[in-house]
A and B are shown apart, each in its own frame.
Chain A
């Protein structure tokens, strides 16, 4: 053997890498995937057809109805077209120094809910990691995340650019944070996924890794090869995906009327109905939101929306009743006075009554200079009209 061969014989780097990746795969319950630019690890979990998470049967998610409210009608959309995505990262700051080391992908296929996880064994293998991710994203038409617009997707885009690659198109990206805030925000102190999981899905995690520890567990793995804590990190991500999908299911049920929204949820749900032009059901939901058990501010808001929905559907009498109630509830708020004044002046042509309302508003409401000027203008006009039609006064 010459020296070169001798060296090659003792130099076991390649071998070691293979044993390492073998033991890592075993510990993670994942399988290595070798791609140009490195080796990454994939773990796949498939849930049984009847699997329920937070009271939602994930394999039978029917996204079309809910999506129609959330992003508009998508022709030919099937449950298999939707991908739920969540990442684990080395930090919360966005920027090129934060790495995505785990991506969880949830989807329905063949009547089952599957979660595919791609794990990055070290920053050197990122090129391969991104290739695998790009590949995995391809079959889907809709991407659903939680706070992904600001965070996960943003960070993944950064990773692609840093690897001098074109970031994949997000296609249709639905960030559930916004609808969740709208629908559940009124009854919750925070709208984090964890809080939603507890209160909306009534799901309690057991033995879960706290999210803020996750970067450090990954750093320790990189530094010292500590694999022990990693399966728990993968499980944490798995639960995030399940909760994300279940939350989506709950939102769909509320939007499509499969579930009745509580008064606290009704205002948010109504908003989506109104946006789709379903004024009748929106009105019903606004009225439900105005339940006497609800806090005052919330009720007032619901009443305002309800009154406007009445107005737009020509239910003037109901609208007037709501405005009267609003004037009682919020004597300092000019909104209902102005609406009533318009109604009396332009529809009923009851100038005297309209003037009455305007005078009351000027006396009791807190007005901006602009609001005051407008009311005074209206008052002058009404006085003019009354002067021309003294007989009707």
Chain B
């Protein structure tokens, strides 16, 4: 059966349709072409034709035209719409005309950078030109680095590398900076919140260094669909950009099916496992030869699903055509899988968000999402993995029992009716700015009157002079400290130190990596670690050395660990009062500790027992804002009502605060305590997810009035009955009555409704 026939069959199957809450058909779109820009180098068109590209889509044509004319541009492109040509064409055109010209490509991750090489080199080979393209990242061998620094026409790297290795050593990159014509920033939408604010400052430093060497590159940015691509791009690169957002790529008819697993226990409201339902849908597609990608939210569910799907396909002798894909796989393994997906020898892949970004795996026919990805933008991004230029494609969103999933699946109009999220950044966040100003001063002395993003540059420099880091003489500011400032700031919250997983069944060998945050949950002793659907049991975890030693086992269960989080106020930096309630911000210690793990039987998912986890707790010093409520109006309320109200209000604040703090939802975390040890009262904490804090809590303290008023507005105007993800959160997550309670709390705090 082909996909159309399968969809027809499903539509006629009442038992399947009983679980479908929505079936959206996105009509096909025809290709829209634009001309080849006249100024494009004449060798490029025949090369494209040789590769079977006769025409440029209208967005490609416009973007290339703008970039060739020397104008900064941001192209908004859905997944797999040929965005790479938007930058490869102008860049190659320029290098073909000017042999010394250089370009810098920035991708948010190493994997994406690697992915670029193959395609770009393919195009270069077709042209037959001597254009050198290299990746420059932590894996680049030292002897290759020297060559890349002087001879690479196109250097493909990531922001972290630019921040710590390229900019602070710019004198080794003279050729690059003197001749830099284009800077390409792909996956622009991933530079949101604190990470984006860091990136904007890294780009400020880049601009300074270019100026020093006399170059002024053109910026070409590509973004997935977000609400404000041009604004985000302009904030990032510090000047206005042209927006190209008319998508000319054709697409076939797309079916978007919302699927809610059936209730199996009416009384308890328990639904069938979304994992098992996703397995059912995916194996049906795969057995019919439909190339399918399955997105799961955790590494664990990726591995469990791969196991299931391999088994399902073993009956038809095709279990090897299903692969897993996630962050912990080694680079070579991932390249293999990507290649096999492109050439069709792998028919099914189960992935975490790792494949959400623009890694080239070709376009598949169907996509199954196990659980709502958490934002509208990334749902569309993942859905874009399915869909070819012609022919039908299908996306299945299988809801988990989490309240957010349940809300989305039962309110499809919320998903299809809302616009995608904004990408917000605050490059002038004092904490972030000052750290990059130090790096900038290390890189080049500051001239009198020179501005680094803000007009108060001189004040900050004076402050750094008082701190003894900078020396001012004859109108210039020189870095004068025995330190390497770029090493002291990391652009990302998660530390780069991964845990290594070593299989000691035979000769010890490294089979994968796990990031620091997930390691205690996945690699505690006795955990079943699944890699490429092979089970391993963790024998010892060397926490200090960040190594887990595992041995191959065959058991009928997997393990799932739980985490306890605690927040403690260490020092109050400022306090305020709001009526009888109090606000404040200060330093806090957030502690998380894995407590125990459960053994869960495969297929039946029954609990086979549990065990303790003995691991040190993970600590993070950061800053938090808090709001502790006067209890007197709520004396008659029971604890669970107050807790629901707190959770509801915390959700509201977490939804709204990013707009005022210009950060991303993921940069903040909330904790509620019905009786906080620190205040003795019901308290909501909003904390900064960056070790040490990046000033979000302080800013929140300053603008909390506005945030609270906005929350009051929102909760008053939201049309949902008892909470939704946009306001207080789904009722079955935060508890019934949360919305009313939160509204009442806000009214008391702010003195009545407006």
Contact = CB atoms under 8 A, between A and B. Distances in A.
Interface of A: 90-97, 99, 122-124, 157-158, 161-162, 215-216, 219, 222-223
Contacts of B471: 122-123, 219, 222-223
A216 B482 contact: yes
Contacts of A122: 471, 473
B481 A96 contact: no
Contacts of B418: none
B473 A123 contact: yes
A93 B487 CA distance: 11
B470 to A, nearest CB: 10
A222 B469 CA distance: 12
Interface string B155-178: 000000000000011111010000
Interface in B414-438: none
Interface string B448-483: 000000000000000000001001011010111111
19 contacts: A90-B480, A90-B481, A93-B483, A95-B442, A96-B168, A96-B170, A96-B171, A96-B442, A97-B442, A97-B443, A99-B478, A122-B473, A123-B478, A124-B478, A157-B171, A162-B171, A162-B444, A219-B480, A223-B468
Contacts of B485: 97
B707 interface: no
A94 B474 CA distance: 25
B480 to A, nearest CB: 6
B441 interface: yes
Classify chain B's interface size: 20 to 34
Q: Which of B170, B445, B482 has the most CB of A within 10 A?
A: B482
Nearest to A219: B480
Contact of B169 (A94, A123, A124): A94
A97 B168 contact: yes
Nearest to B213: A164
B480 A222 contact: yes
A219 B170 CA distance: 24
B678 interface: no
B168 A95 contact: yes
Contacts of B473: 122-124, 222
A96 B479 CA distance: 9
B225 to A, nearest CB: 40
B442 A219 contact: no
Contacts of A124: 473-474, 476, 478
A95 B443 CA distance: 8
A96 B482 contact: no
A216 B469 CA distance: 11
A325 B668 CA distance: 69
Contacts of A97: 168, 441-443, 479, 481, 484-485
Contacts of B480: 90, 99, 123, 219, 222
Interface centre among A96, A99, A124 (most CB of B within 10 A): A96
Given A90-B482, A95-B443, A123-B445, 10 more contacts: A92-B482, A96-B171, A96-B442, A97-B479, A99-B478, A123-B480, A124-B478, A162-B171, A219-B481, A222-B471
A316 B479 CA distance: 64
Contacts of B171: 96, 157-158, 161-162
Interface string B169-193: 1111010000000000000000000
Closest 5 CB pairs of A and B: A97-B442, A91-B482, A93-B484, A97-B479, A161-B171
Contacts of A90: 480-482
B444 A95 contact: no
A91 B445 CA distance: 16
Nearest to B487: A93
A158 B442 CA distance: 13
Contacts of A93: 482-484
Contact of A95 (B445, B468, B474, B484): B484
A92 B474 CA distance: 26
Contacts of A91: 481-484
A99 B442 CA distance: 10
B471 to A, nearest CB: 5
Contacts of A94: 169
Nearest to A126: B478
A99 B171 CA distance: 13
Contacts of B444: 96, 162
